[in-house]
Amino acid sequence: MREVFQAELKSIGDELIQMSKLVAEAMERAYASFEAADTDIAQEVIAADQKIDYLQTSLDERAIDILALQGPVASDLRMIVGSLRMSASLERMGDLARHIAQLTRLRFPNNVAPQRLAETFKEMASLDVQIAQKVTELLESRDLNIASEIIGLNNRVDELHASVFKVVADPDWNESAPATADSTLTSRYLERYADHGVSVARKVTYLVTGEWDPEIGVRGQL
């Protein structure tokens, strides 16, 4: 029974890793579609999001089954409940990558982003992909140095997000209002994606150390 239980726990961990790989790929491809105004790639990202949603459902069902059949306690219980939270964050990261692809499709044949923000969004998307890749590494290794790296990358995303509003407020900014609105949404999506990566990193940290990060107070505990 104990062996079955450990195998079930491992399956949950594997599914989280698989989800994190898929959301990294989703953002990488979403940004490729966004940069090149390529609706074929955008369409692929949108379609592939269903796979991420399916994995979340599968993981959540497995977690419920374990709770019902095995009655786990202590750290195993927290791991399972934490996995439900992590799967929700990863699923949301997939949605945000999809939103970038949907904006690309909406504005085709034009680019979504004005040239002036192209480098900023390129860096934000690259940081997002790195964050998701590091989430995969963190889930695989439980090496908390990686969690710190993720938080460092997210800080840079936040700076870039703030810089977008400075650029938009600059008197030289002479883009159309729809381009301003699209840039605002793009920046918000890229910033939220990174936030969810941080949520997963904090959850893993809590599960490994049993302590929550004081920066976020008690909220990170589950």
Binding site for a copy of itself (CB under 8 A): 53-54, 56-57, 60-61, 63-64, 67-68, 71, 73-74, 77-78, 81, 84-85, 88, 165, 168-169, 173, 175, 177-178, 180-181, 183-185, 188, 217-219, 221-222
Which tokens hold the place of 41?
Answer: 């790639």
Q: Note whether 24 and 132 are within 8 A (CB).
A: yes
For residue 187, give the 3-state DSSP assignment.
Answer: helix
Dist CA 16 CA 115 (whole Å): 36
Which tokens hold the place of 8?
Answer: 């079930």
**Cβ 199 to a copy of itself shortest distance, Å:** 10
Q: Note whether 131 and 150 are within 8 A (CB).
A: yes
Helical pair 144-169 and 115-141, crossing angle rounded to 10 deg = 170
**Cβ 184 to a copy of itself shortest distance, Å:** 4
In this complex, which beta carbon is closest to a copy of itself, that of residue 43 or of residue 221? 221
In this complex, which beta carbon is closest to a copy of itself, that of residue 53 or of residue 149? 53
Dist CA 3 CA 44 (whole Å): 39
In this complex, which beta carbon is closest to a copy of itself, that of residue 3 or of residue 166? 166
**Cβ 130 to a copy of itself shortest distance, Å:** 25
In this complex, which beta carbon is closest to a copy of itself, that of residue 32 or of residue 84? 84
**Cβ 53 to a copy of itself shortest distance, Å:** 6
